Amino acid sequence: MPTADRRRERKERDTLSVEWVKLELLRTAYATRGGLLASRDPRFVIGWYLIFAVVPWFTHDLTVLAGLFLVCAVAVVLSRVGPLILGLFVFGFVLESLYVLFAAWFFGGDLSTVLALVELTLKLATVSLASMAAFVSLDPEKLSDALLALHAPAMVAFGVSYGYRMLPMLMEEFHTVVDGHRLRAAPLPSPGFLGWRVVVRTGSTVVAAFYPLMLNTAKRTRTTVEALETKGFTYAAEHPAGRRIRLAHLKADRWDAVLIAATVLLVAGCFTLGELYPLPVQVG
Amino acid sequence: MNSGQEPTSAIEVDGLRFRYPGADVEALTGVDLRIERGDITAVVGGNGSGKTTLCKTFNGLVPHYWSGDFAGTVRVCGVDTRTTSVADLSHLVGYVYQDFGNQLVRPTVRDEVSFAPVNFGLDDHAERTEEAMELLGVAHLADRFTWQLSGGQQHLVALAGVLALRPEVIVVDEPVAELDPARAEGIYEALTGLNARLGTTIVVIEHHAEFVARYARTVLLMADGAPVWHLPVREALERHEELDRHGIPAPQIAGAVRALVPAAPVPLTVPEAAEALRGVPLGGAAEATPAPPVGETVAELVGVHHGYREVGGGLTRVLQGVDLTLRAGERVALVGGNGAGKSTLLRLLTGLKVPREGTVRVEGTDTRTVRPAALADRVCHLYQRPEQMFLKDNVREDIAMFPRGRGVPDTDALVDSILDRIRLTDLADRDGRLLSGGQQRRATLGIGLGVRPALLLLDEPTSSLDTASRDAVIAMLDSLAETIRCTVVATHDMHLVAAWAHRVVVLDGGRIVADTDPAALFADPDLMDSVGLIPPQIVRLGLELGMEPPPLSVAELLDRGLATTGGGSDAHR
């Protein structure tokens, strides 16, 4: 291949490669990095998350929203969110901000339009940060036990933990099928302008790869469903004894109370600041 | 539960008939059967003989989960399965599936094992969990994620999961199907251990007569949805012609002993066979097989180091300083335990991965300098799980995908000839996933033939096949030589190594520890042990009889026996 000489030699990379993305997803899903919220009772972590998921929608004040945003940003740092998830968030956040400015300018809006859009962006960003901090700290068992404890249907709680169990397998399988397409599909004549053919090919491969992935998965789940029946899964849905045993290990300590108290204080602080220095300044 | 200790049967079946909803024919056509408590029963029979359906009546999945036309009665430890729920029956009967990996539903091992006792709200769930893990020797894995385990470990965990309910009967569906023989042996040892210690009744569905002979006490032959007979194991194996007709070829040692000492009883183990053959003149020199001519280099690895990152961030070294040259005309078997680096080595040869250190060249091209797609016409890798190779919705399209994409002239004619060669012309319009195991393997071979590579890499091409399908795949590999210059097979299957390979490369801990031929490998018990391999029965028999080098097939043993004059036998008296 004449073009091969000009191309840089390939080498095994530990970051920004497909393998790295897979590992990052696993690290995130299984809460392997530890952090502030990881050692807390999962019910309180979900409670903490709900505070930040709900409160931003009760205000229009930018000072309050900026404060909440900062609190969540600190929580993200303390929860040791991995670089992939954080990078995706920052990327999305920056793009969103640019889009807001562009949209305001393009549609002839003024400062108030920008501020209205900034408000929405801040609210969404705060909720995203809070969910990152909370869910990076919950491994599948904690999350599913917490849902069960909060009286979510048993099917939902189980589905969460089963989904996590399938995640590594599905990722591996998907990667294999995509590799198969890469090797066996017709080679591209050229990348095209700005590599548009590569983009189209990548997109169509990912879509085509879902067909074998879904069929292979469907075949597997037949055994799983039978096994669930023999392991008393439906029995447990009708008899509460299993639920009691499963949740016996959930015990809140005073640090969980401290977490919620500190959160409430911080939120209250944000609103106080908003009272003192309201933004945008209300005229007349 | 079983307070009355009178010797009732573990399983009693009377006049059982069953038809799946929508099916034209009955899956079970009148079964009368009695399995005693504490028995180890092997259920054998061809595909579609009703083995699995029968076993699913024991734990009530038929008819409670698979509803259909059900007639007759099934009693487990005196309990009628028809009037008892699947959940209640699971305290009496545990079931381990053929695809046991899908039976594991929880993230960690301890969770998985305790899942059933917790669901049933048993207060001693923790003790039961520890006890089950202890009994099967998986206690040290308790906090591992199930997807991190090897196949053998997953099977033990699935077994522990059913054992935690302390069942009277355990049904295991084809443990050898998705495990290599050495690990399957571990499972059988565990099952016989449970049988001896707890008196658990064991029912296994099994294709391999070798395992039946060694571990079962009684054999139930199924055909057309009904038992043909249910006999003690030795009597069953005496009926080798009947078993052969039902797709269960006799164990190699039984074939050898029958040919040489027809009057001797059927041997169940290698020592028994050796005993029967004492005094038979054996051990003539092996026929010198001419070493295949050494061709030019097809691919080479020079000083290759490779490893992968773990979830924890550490680097696991997989290959450490591997040098290997693959030449035209070679049939190479790559063997070694799990994690020895076989799959990684294959992936490096495809160029999908490049080594962290060292160089991989395929037909002179350094894999670093080209994209994997550019190497794809020279190297083809057939995965262990065939369904991962099926990217299209029928076999014909899957085979045509590569040649059509590369603009090979006459793709249609090429595909037709390949389909003919792999004997799948009639099934060419089916989705590959709907074929039987043996057909799936042949279809993937067809995909490989469509690529017409210089180097063909196969990962465990004979795993999960019954004996007949396995022999068909080996025969097909034999005929590849005309099209493909060099074939490398990564495998645990020592029958495949004995029957097919010329050269064996042994990997252990990421290094090549031996590069030899099959007979020399099998004659080195220390090496075999250190990498966890078990030679085929006939090789073990030859070694037991002092034959040097050991025979690789029954035919070779017989030939060498006949070629020798009586004097040779004194040497090993």
B-chain CB neighbours of A245 within 8 Å are: 118, 121, 123, 125
Label residues A242-259 b or e (16+ Cβ within 10 Å = b): bbebbeeeeeeeeebeeb
Q: Is A80 helix (H, G, I), strand (E, B) or coil?
A: coil
Best residue in A230, A238, A245, A247 for a mutation probing chain B (most B CBs within 10 Å): A230
Structural tokens at position A141: 């068992």
A249/B contact by beta carbon, under 8 A: no
Test A179 with B352 for CB contact under 8 angstroms: yes
Give the burial class of B24: count Cβ atoms within 10 A of its Cβ; 0-12 exposed, 13-18 middle, 19 or more buried.
Answer: exposed
Residues A25, A119, single domain; the answer is yes
Nearest CA in chain B to A167: B147
Q: Closest chain B residue to A179 measured between Cα atoms?
A: B352
Span A4-20, average pLDDT = 71
**A203 plus A64 within the same structural domain:** no
Looking at residue B166, what is its pLDDT? 93
Interface touch B61/A180, C-beta < 8 Å: no
Residue A3 lies in a domain: no
- Chain B partners of A19 at a C-beta cutoff of 8 Å? 308-309
Does residue A181 share a domain with residue A128?
no
Here the contacts of B415-419 (C-beta below 8 Å, separation 24 or greater) are: B415/B450, B418/B446, B418/B449, B418/B450, B419/B395, B419/B446
From A27-36, A41-50, A95-104, B98-107, the region with the lowest mean pLDDT? A27-36
Give the pLDDT score at B529.
Answer: 85
**According to the model, what pLDDT value does residue A1 have?**
40
Q: Looking at beta carbons, which residues of chain A come within 8 Å of B370?
A: 1, 4
Instruction: Determine the straight-line distance between the first and last CA of chain A, rounded to whole angstroms.
Output: 73
Chain A residues touching residue B310 (CB < 8 angstroms): 23
Chain B CB contacts of A221 under 8 Å are 102
Residue with token string 């965990």: B157
Q: State the pLDDT at residue B501.
A: 93
Confidence check: pLDDT of A80 > 50: yes
Spatial separation of the C-alpha atoms in residues A237 and B120, rounded to whole Å = 10
- Two tokens, residue A60: 């229009």
Does a structural domain hold residue A101? yes
Residue A263 sits in the same domain as residue A227: no
C-alpha Rg value of chain A to the nearest Å: 24
In a domain, A1, yes or no: no
pLDDT of residue B149: 84
Instruction: Enumerate residues 108 to 127 of chain A having a beta carbon within 8 A of any beta carbon in chain B.
Output: none
CA distance B194 to B171: 13
Contacts of B120 in chain A (CB under 8 A): 232, 235-236, 239, 241-242
Residue A134 shares a structural domain with residue A264? yes
Residue pLDDT, tens place only, A43-63 = 999 999 999 999 999 999 999
Residues A84 and A21 in one domain: yes
Does A38 reside within a domain? yes
What is the b/e burial string over B161-196, where b = at least 16 CB atoms within 10 angstroms of the residue's CB?
bbbbbbbbbbbbbbbbbbbbbbbbbbbbebbbebbe
Q: For residue A172, tell me if it sits in a domain.
A: yes
Residues A261 and A223 occupy one common structural domain:
no
Q: Does A235 touch chain B (CB under 8 A)?
A: yes
Query: Residue A226 and residue B97: Cα distance in Å, rounded?
Result: 10
The number of folded domains in chain A is: 2
Contact B374 A168 (CB under 8 A): no
Is the CB of residue A230 less than 8 Å away from at least one CB of chain B?
yes
CB of A33 within 8 Å of any CB in chain B? no
Min Cα–Cα distance to chain A from B414, Å:
16
Angle between helices B411-421 and B437-451 (to 10 degrees): 140
Q: How far is B12 from chain A (nearest CA, A)?
A: 21
Q: Is residue B213 a contact partner of residue B178, using CB atoms and an 8 Å limit?
A: no
Query: B75-81 long-range CB contacts below 8 Å, 24 or more apart?
Result: B75/B9, B75/B11, B75/B12, B75/B13, B76/B10, B76/B11, B76/B168, B76/B169, B77/B1, B77/B2, B77/B8, B77/B10, B77/B37, B77/B168, B77/B169, B78/B2, B78/B4, B78/B8, B81/B57
Please indicate, yes or no, whether residues A61 and A175 belong to a single structural domain of this protein.
Answer: no
Domain range enclosing A173: 153-251
**Measured between beta carbons, which residues in chain A are less than 8 angstroms from residue B61?**
226, 229-230
- Residue B487, beta-bridge partner list: B331, B456
How far is residue B331 CA from its own chain's centroid?
21
The answer to whether A56 and A152 have CB atoms below 8 angstroms apart is no
The chain B residue lying nearest A246, using CA atoms, is B118
A96 in reach of chain B (CB within 8 A): no
- In angstroms, the CA B47 to CA B54 distance is 13
Number of A/B CB contacts below 8 angstroms equals: 176
A100 and A120 part of one domain: yes
CA distance B264 to chain A (A): 44
> What is the DSSP track for B56-90?
HHHTTIIIIIS-SEEEEEEEETTEEGGGS-HHHHT
Count other C-beta atoms under 10 Å from residue A42's C-beta.
24
Q: Could you state, in order of their start, the residue ranges of all structural domains in chain B? A: 297-536
Does residue A8 fall inside a structural domain?
no
Question: Taking CB atoms and an 8 Å cutoff, what residues of chain A touch B406?
Answer: 186-187
Q: What is the dihedral of CA B215, B221, B224, B226, to 10 degrees?
A: -110
Two tokens, residue B407 = 């603009």
- Return the pLDDT at A8: 66
Residue A144 has pLDDT above 90, yes or no: no
With contact defined as beta carbons under 8 Å apart, do A184 and B402 qualify? yes
- For residue A27, give the nearest of B87, B308, B311 by CB distance: B311
Q: pLDDT value at position B570?
A: 40
CA gap A29, A25 in Å, rounded: 6
Q: Which two tokens stand for residue B256?
A: 């050898």
Q: What are the mean pLDDT values of chain B's consecutive 10-residue runs (573 residues total)?
A: 60 95 90 95 88 93 90 94 92 92 89 93 94 92 85 91 95 83 85 94 92 95 94 94 89 92 92 89 66 82 91 84 94 86 91 93 93 90 90 93 91 93 91 87 92 92 80 86 88 89 92 93 89 88 87 88 48 38
CA angle (A252, A257, A259) in 5-degree steps: 110
Sheet with B315-327, side-by-side order of all strands? B315-327, B297-309, B357-362, B365-366
Size (chain A), residues:
284
Are A223 and A200 in contact by the 8 Å Cβ rule? The answer is: no
CA dihedral sign, ordered B402, B406, B408, B413: positive
Asked whether residue A47 falls in the same domain as residue A184, the answer is no
Residue matched to tokens 């499972």? B187
> Which chain B positions have a beta carbon within 8 Å of A165's beta carbon?
104-107, 146-147
Q: Which residues in B206-343 belong to E strands, given as ranges?
A: 218-223, 226-232, 297-309, 315-327, 331-335
Report CB contact under 8 Å: B352, A140: no
CB atoms B116 and A231 under 8 Å? yes
Q: Do residues A202 and A88 both lie within one domain? A: no
Q: What is the DSSP letter of B481?
A: G
Nearest by Cα to B221 from B209, A11, B211, B125? B209
pLDDT at A283: 53
Instruction: Give domain status of residue A6, yes or no.
Output: no
The answer to whether the beta carbons of residues A172 and B355 sit under 8 Å apart is: no
Q: How far is B172 from chain A, CA to nearest CA, in Å?
A: 13
Yes or no, beta carbons of A12 and B354 under 8 Å apart: yes
Place of tokens 């859009």: A117
Q: Do A182 and B372 touch (CB under 8 A)?
A: yes
One-letter amino acid at B388 equals Q
Co-location of A43 and A94 in the same domain: yes
B154 vs A172, residue with greater confidence: B154
Q: Looking at the whole model, is its pTM more than 0.90?
A: no
Cα–Cα distance measured from residue A141 to residue A147, given in angstroms and rounded to the nearest whole number: 10
Region of residue B184 (left: phi > 0; alpha: psi -120 to 50; beta: else): alpha
Please report the sign of the dihedral spanned by the C-alpha atoms of residue B101, residue B107, residue B110, residue B115.
negative
Look up residue B277 and give its two tokens.
Answer: 């053959």
**B303 and B357 Cβ atoms separated by less than 8 Å:** yes
> How is residue A57 annotated by DSSP?
G
> Which of B61, B112, B118 to probe by mutation at the A interface, max A CB count within 10 Å?
B118
Concatenating the DSSP letter of every residue in A153-191 gives -HHHHHHHHHHHHHHHHHHHHHHHHHHHHHHHSPPPS--
Task: Look at A216 and B107 and tell me if their CB atoms are within 8 Å.
Answer: no
Contact yes or no for A231 and B97 at CB 8 A:
no
Q: What's the average model confidence in pLDDT over A14-34?
A: 82
- Domain-embedded: residue A10: no
CATH H-level superfamily of B297-536? P-loop containing nucleotide triphosphate hydrolases (3.40.50.300)
Closest Cβ–Cβ partner in B102, B376, B402 for A220: B102
Whether A3 shows a pLDDT value over 60: the answer reads: no
